[in-house]
Amino acid sequence: QDVQKFSDNDKLYLYLQLPSGPSLGEKSSLDLSSLGTAEYMHVCNWIRNHLEEHTDTCLPKQDVYDAYKRYCDNLCCRPLSAANFGKIIREIFPNIKARRLGGRGHGIRRKTVVSLPPLPSLDLKVTETQSELTELVQSYSSEVMEAACALTCHWAEKILKRSFNNIVEVAQFLIQQHIISSRSAHADLVMAMVVSG
């Protein structure tokens, strides 16, 4: 009867708070349909980009999961449960041996060489003719370009954990840190701003 007094929004909130997982008597297994495809691919990519199989090393499972949780926290996304994360690791690395009393090899380690993911190009695509390029630039209002630059700076600050005042500073940082190649006309132009400024 008390529930009848709640508003529809309150009832919906209570409904969403109800447990939806398997009961305690059931054994949980990784059901890929319960994970979103994007969520599953995100975890798989993180595992493949940060870990590798190694015969002489065995990282503690909790250390691996903690590193994954920190990564998710930095991106402000919800991490998988430790159980589902472990199941995906075993799916990707089927030869690792989990031991109750600690690892003795045949496990995983952090990758020794981590390749940087490709970053989106911030350059306007070179078109067939100069008039097409001019038309493209003029089609964007300065307001839209300012907003796009501000969003890109915000994204770079979040990823690179550093503050930038404008898009030129982002480009200069990427070139100076060798994150992108300095061997292009665009890079030369951006770096010329450093020398003259």
103: domain CATH number?
Answer: 1.10.10.10
**Together in a domain, 100 and 135:** no
Indicate whether 64 and 137 sit together in one domain: no
At 175, list the tokens. Answer: 């070139």
pLDDT, residue 127, reads 45
In the numeric block, which tokens belong to residue 90? Answer: 């075993």
What pLDDT shows up at residue 165? 87
CA distance 171 to 187: 8
Q: Is the per-residue pLDDT at 80 higher than 50? A: yes
pLDDT digits (tens, 9 = 90+) for 117-126: 666 666 555 5
Question: Which residues are CB-neighbours of 163 under 8 A, at least 6 positions away?
Answer: 157
Shared-domain flag, residues 100 and 138: no
The yes-or-no verdict on residue 155 having pLDDT over 80 is yes
Residues 179 and 102 in one domain: no
Give yes or no for residue 100 having a pLDDT over 70: no
Domain count, the chain: 2
Its domain, for residue 64, covers 3-110
**Binning pLDDT at 50, 70 and 90, where does residue 22 land?**
very low
Assigned domain for 115 exists = no
Looking at 54, 82, 110, the residue that finishes a domain is 110
The reply to whether 183 and 106 lie within a common domain is no
Residue 29 binned pLDDT confidence (cut-offs 50, 70, 90):
very low
In a domain, 117, yes or no: no
- 9 and 97, same domain (yes or no): yes
Looking at residue 12, its pLDDT comes to 72
d(CA 33, CA 168) in angstroms, rounded, equals 44
Task: Give domain status of residue 24, yes or no.
Answer: yes
pLDDT of 43 reads: 84
Domain boundary among the residues 47, 76, 110 is at: 110
What is the token pair recorded at 163? 């503050």
Judge whether 125 lies within some domain: no
Tokens representing residue 152 in the block: 């890109």
Do 182 and 150 belong to one domain?
yes
Q: State which amino acid sits at residue 106.
A: H
Cβ count within 10 A of residue 59:
16
